[in-house]
Amino acid sequence: MTELAQSHRPGGADGTATRWWRDAVIYQVYVRSFADGNGDGIGDLLGVRGRLPYLADLGVDALWLTPFYTSPMADFGYDVADYRDVDPIFGTLADAAALVEEAHRYGLRVIVDVVPNHTSDRHAWFREALEAGPGSPERERYVFREGRGENGELPPNDWESIFGGRAWTRLPDGEWYLHLFAPEQPDLNWENPEVHAEFESVLRFWLDLGVDGFRVDVAHGMVKAPGLPDVGHPDQIRMIGTDVVPFFDQDGVHDIHRAWRRLLDSYPGERIGVAEAWAPSPGRLARYVRPDELHQAFNFHFLGTPWEAAAFRAVIQESLDTAGSVGAPTTWVLSNHDVKRHVTRYGGGGTGLRRARAAALLTLGLPGSAYVYQGEELGLPEVLDLPEEFLHDPQRLRDPEAGRDGCRVPLPWNETEPHLGFGLPGGEDPWLPIPASWGPLSVESQLADPSSTLNLYRRALEVRRARRSFGEDALAWLPSPEGTLAFARGEGFACTVNLTGEPVELPAPGRVLLASEEPVIEGGLARLAPDSAVWWEREGA
Ligand code: GLC
């Protein structure tokens, strides 16, 4: 362990710039479902701390922790009531400090979530705003408006909430307030300098505590188009990610990111900002990672790509070109706590798992930084049959099928322990039930199986770490048959992916380094298994 920790200890402590984020593999910890340290059935900071050896052994460079701040949990923590404290469900501030410190000892950096678009309706500011009434400075911290219609009985505009229904709620005093998400998540007014000052202070609070950066929630949402104009038609959720809407991706958000970048840069140790930005195109997304803005942005265009060679090739090239045009690294993301797990998106069952394993080698073989959502290293599928009484995701209001509970099921750690090792013996049941069929997918079981998905990830991360310039080495596409991808990188590395359901033959690019499924090599030809990927050491390259 000591040796391992040394090999990927955060650089830069002595003042040298490592630009560590450019090729970092960052593991997303959905705290509620990762590990339960106190046996109450809900994951917590103590649980994460206890599993740091697992994460260090896995070989990731950093963790991103989803919100663990004080919250009434209307949106499972993305409704923050106190940005400077830890919710008792997750532990204490001392637990957070101890976790950051211990992670650093394991050579792991820690990124925390910050939620600047909205607060909880239980945040002191919103309570003060409700009490102070229309026209007060307290209401100026949020987006309060009078309604339309004769008696203000119609909402101020036609905006829809991402979670379904309209984006406005009316108060008994007649005013309406804006909430792009749940009514319990009122939007802040970023035209008010007090809001800027408050968030800079929140960022400082966590930077002083030692965190290595922030994942900025809804980084495209804080600034709205002047005058809050109507969109003009319904079903606005379908436009996000492809069209410009007046409540997202407005130019003004970039001033906020510039100010935050200056703040991050004023701290030693290369602290970073990562944008969760749903931009209409990779080109618009690149604007969030210009040299004076955030360091990374999640690549949701890659996440949304169907299992087709041409589609992947196009999105990879476009991502490299657009991020490259502003000198930023690309990121590669397959899953997170908001989307169906990719084993299931890629077809589920044996096919979904084969494709997910191949996708892992494709993703980790590309230049730039990669995100791993907890449990993807175990090949976990989406849980599609959770009993109704467990489903509380506010997004179900839009469409019961759009619920995000099935990707948030707690992790199976040990096949032979109660609750598959999530929690303590004799502890409470997990907050979402873990399918009994996940026993063989548990960490302990997979560690013992050399061909497991967990061991595939561990080996891939080991190979990545051993090739020091891996993240920066440019990609060159190699000729390959239809339905496949082949590319070379730097000193003698190549990756081939067969995205078809049939075996495909091509000239063997070299010696097999790692494979999601072993190819058959004969007379200089490699026969790639269906839905598989191979990493190659190229000879004579
Ligand atoms: C982000 C989060 C999501 C949350 C939403 C509102 O998209 O990832 O989980 O519901 O923001 O804060």
User: Does residue 94 carry a pLDDT above 60?
Assistant: yes
279-301 pLDDT, tens digit per residue, is 988 899 999 999 999 999 999 99
The whole-angstrom distance between residue 284's C-alpha and the CA centroid of its chain comes to 19
User: Does residue 2 carry a pLDDT above 70?
Assistant: no
165-175 pLDDT, tens digit per residue, is 999 999 999 99
**How far is the centre of ligand 1, averaged over its atoms, from the C-alpha of 118 (Å)?**
10
Determine the average pLDDT of the residues in 235-239: 91
Q: Which of 58-67, 126-135, 446-455, 462-471 has the lowest mean pLDDT?
A: 462-471
Q: Residue 84's pLDDT band (boundaries 50, 70, 90)? A: very high
**How far is the centre of ligand 1, averaged over its atoms, from the C-alpha of 366 (Å)?**
27
Q: Residue 17's pLDDT band (boundaries 50, 70, 90)? A: confident
User: Does residue 317 carry a pLDDT above 80?
Assistant: yes
466-505 pLDDT, tens digit per residue, is 987 888 899 999 999 999 999 999 879 999 999 999 999 9
Q: Which of 1-5, 138-142, 534-538 has the lowest mean pLDDT?
A: 1-5
Ligand 1, atom nearest to 79 Cα: 12
User: Does residue 8 carry a pLDDT above 90?
Assistant: no
Nearest CA to ligand 1 atom 4: 78
Which residues are CB-contacts of 110 (< 8 A; sequence separation ≥ 6)? 62, 63, 65, 99, 100, 103, 104, 210, 211, 212
**How far is the centre of ligand 1, averaged over its atoms, from the C-alpha of 451 (Å)?**
35
Determine the average pLDDT of the residues in 507-523: 97
Write the Ramachandran bin of 229: left for phi over 0, alpha for psi from -120 to 50, otherwise beta: beta
Nearest CA to ligand 1 atom 7: 218
Radius of gyration over alpha carbons of the chain, in Å?
23
**How far is the centre of ligand 1, averaged over its atoms, from the C-alpha of 500 (Å)?**
34
Distance CA 233, CA 428 (A): 47
Asked if residue 422 has its Cβ within 6 Å of ligand 1, the reply is no
Residue 114 has which token pair?
């910050």
Q: Identify the three-state secondary structure at position 233.
A: coil
352-378 pLDDT, tens digit per residue, is 999 999 999 999 999 999 999 999 999
> With pLDDT > 70 as the criterion, what percentage of the chain qualifies?
97
Neighbours of 201 (CB within 10 A): 11
Which of 217, 404, 407 has most ligand 1 atoms within 8 Å of its beta carbon, as the pocket-test mutant? 217
Nearest CA to ligand 1 atom 9: 338
Which of 218, 278, 408 has most ligand 1 atoms within 8 Å of its beta carbon, as the pocket-test mutant? 218
Asked if residue 57 has its Cβ within 6 Å of ligand 1, the reply is no
Catalytic residues: 217, 276
Ligand 1, atom nearest to 181 Cα: 6
User: Does residue 249 carry a pLDDT above 70?
Assistant: yes
**How far is the centre of ligand 1, averaged over its atoms, from the C-alpha of 387 (Å)?**
23
Q: Are 60 and 461 in contact (CB under 8 A)?
A: yes
Distance CA 209, CA 206 (A): 5
Asked if residue 75 has its Cβ within 6 Å of ligand 1, the reply is yes
Residue 517 has which token pair?
């499924």
C-alpha pair distances (Å), 162 with each of 43, 142, 241, 279, 399: 27, 18, 12, 15, 11
Asked if residue 181 has its Cβ within 6 Å of ligand 1, the reply is yes
Nearest CA to ligand 1 atom 8: 338
Asked if residue 115 has its Cβ within 6 Å of ligand 1, the reply is yes
Asked if residue 31 has its Cβ within 6 Å of ligand 1, the reply is no
- Please give the pLDDT value at position 541: 54
Distance CA 364, CA 166 (A): 40
